[in-house]
A and B are shown apart, each in its own frame.
Chain A
Amino acid sequence: MATTTAAITLTSADLLTDALSLSATNTLYKSGSTVGLDQTTGMARAFLTATTVVDIFPQLIEASIAFENKSSWVYICNKSEDETEFITVKICEQVIGKLYAQDFLWMPWSMRESANANNHHGDITVEPSVATGMAIEFTCINEGTEYPTENLATA
């Protein structure tokens, strides 16, 4: 069993009259247990040169019977240094929010298909705001992955 921790600090001396100094640390466990997560996609860095919507974890089969609703944690960071540039983050084609330059997110992912009328897969996708090139970093740490089976067909 691996031990992976995620820690956050949120600080501000002037957002409120009282200083904000919040810290939280958690160990990443398999769903409903105290067994550590032991699988990861690895940290990836991509340089996106089109405003196309990209599935950032194509190697993971979302909504698999084995791993739907299990524990998966996703980190995404927009490495752009231009404050006007952003990536739009979606799950099941539903916009969650936009990560502007240097913003990051850390969120759970159930890999669940949408129960809404759109009936979409649970892919996490990003869409750059510009085609001039944006770098992003991302990883998924999870308790299991169902991989796509071999497909050699070219058409």
Chain B
Amino acid sequence: MATTTATITLSSTDLLSDELSLNTTSTLTAAGNSTGLTLASGLSRKKTGNTTEYTLFAAADYTDDKAHKVYLKNISTTAAQYFEIQVAGVVVGRVYAGDWALFPWSADSTGTNCDIDITPSAADMTLEYMLFIDE
């Protein structure tokens, strides 16, 4: 069993009158138990040649209804450039230049095919990504 931790820090001194200083740490464990995730895709980079939609992770390649975790980061430094993230064809949101995201993924392929797809707003953009896999 491996121990992998994810820590998020949200901070701002001027978003509100009261300072925002949130710090949360989570150990990445398998669904319904305390066993650490032992598989990962490896930290990867993908350069998109055009603005067509790409499948980043195909749900059929992973076990359905598990506690997979997805990390994404838009490497672009051009503020207007974004990746639009979709799960099962539903638009989740846009990751602009420098933005990162970490979210759970069910990889459901029984009802709806929950592929994770990305659509870059411009050609030649680079996405960094990693999947933590629940067997």
Do A96 and B96 touch (CB < 8 A)?
A: no
Do B22 and A95 touch (CB < 8 A)?
A: no
**Assembly CA distance A34 to B103 (angstroms):** 24
Chain A contact surface mostly: strand
The 7 tightest CB contacts between A and B, nearest first, are A108-B93, A97-B104, A12-B4, A4-B12, A15-B2, A32-B80, A94-B90
Do A9 and B92 touch (CB < 8 A)?
A: no
Do A94 and B79 touch (CB < 8 A)?
A: no
> Chain A nearest CB: distance from B51 CB in Å?
15
Q: Which residues of B contact A97 (CB under 8 A)?
A: 67-69, 103-106
Do A4 and B15 touch (CB < 8 A)?
A: yes
Interface residues on A, range: 35 or more
Do B67 and A11 touch (CB < 8 A)?
A: no
Do A32 and B79 touch (CB < 8 A)?
A: yes
Contact surface of A with B, Cβ cutoff 8 Å = 2-16, 20, 22, 24, 26-27, 29, 31-34, 37-38, 40, 42-43, 69, 71-72, 75, 77, 83-84, 86, 89, 91-92, 94-100, 102-110, 112, 114-116, 122, 141
Do B29 and A6 touch (CB < 8 A)?
A: no
**Assembly CA distance A12 to B67 (angstroms):** 17
Which residue on B lies nearest to A70, using beta carbons?
B94
Instruction: Indicate whether A71 sits within 8 Å of B4 (C-beta atoms), given known contacts A40-B16, A94-B88, A116-B89.
Output: no
**Assembly CA distance A141 to B15 (angstroms):** 9
